[in-house]
Amino acid sequence: MPAPLFAVGDVHGHRDVLAALLRDAGLVDPAERWSGGDAVVWLVGDLVDRGPDGIGAVDLVRRLERESDGGLHCLLGNHEALMLAVHRFGDVETSFPGTTFRDVWRMNGGLESDLRALVPEHVEWVASRPAVGREGDWLLLHADTTAYLGYGDSVAAVNAAVAAVLDDGAVDEVDELLETLSDRMRLVDPEAVDALLARFGGTRIVHGHTPIATVRGVDPHEVIGPLVYGDGRVMNVDHCLFAGGPGFVVRLDAVNGQGRLGGRP
């Protein structure tokens, strides 16, 4: 039997909520230690910004990654990439005249407390996060965009190209990467879904980045499960924690791909 497979949406600094969701799903114990056995868990990025403890969320995920022996994974979100851009370039101007990387970061919920807590180990770990993941039939992305196609012909190629930009890319390359990771709502087009699956493999896509509450036009408190669209081939798991959503953990290996565990009333 394949290992249980889970996905978790954007955390945005809500470290304690993430721990509670994982505990409710049986993936960590009351002491917040890994208890998921051979389960595979993918977080879709955006651990930082907007919430009270982004670096605390990073530290929790880093520890669980070790304790799970690599069973827990985390994608690179646009907010992680933006935080690293500010760390490297600070007040350098972006492609928007008169707007610095720090300006963009602050406008998008960047918190000085996260930047102050950032140490070289965090930078190294964040910069090595994959931009794209594959797990069985699932293609995992942070953003609901086809812009990943511009970075390579395979999952490995895209991840290597993005890591190189984060490591020592020029200002314009980092700026372009931020645009890629910030793009959204392209997967309503079946041809876009076809292009991603043809290039990177899999039969279905799971992503975060675009809050389900925004797409559905509802209060975030009403979002208690994923949004499946695109003829059932695309699943959005951005539970909008930063705006008060209760959060959920999705069981991807459920028969219909829509099982939910860990939802909090």
What φ, ψ does residue 41 adopt, rounded to 5°? -125, 130
Radius of gyration for the chain, computed over Cα atoms and rounded to the nearest angstrom: 17
Question: Residue 207: which H helix or E strand, with range?
Answer: strand 204-207
- Span 167-182, mean pLDDT? 96
Res 259: pLDDT: 40
Report the CATH superfamily, name and number, of domain 5-261. Answer: Metallo-dependent phosphatases (3.60.21.10)
Res 1: pLDDT: 72
User: How far apart are alpha carbons 113 and 44 in whole angstroms?
Assistant: 23
**pTM score:** 0.94
Q: Is the pLDDT of residue 209 over 50?
A: yes
Please report, for the chain, the start and end positions of each structural domain, with discontinuous segments joined by +: 5-261
121-137: pLDDT as tens digits: 999 999 999 999 999 99
92-124: pLDDT as tens digits: 999 888 999 999 999 999 999 999 999 999 999
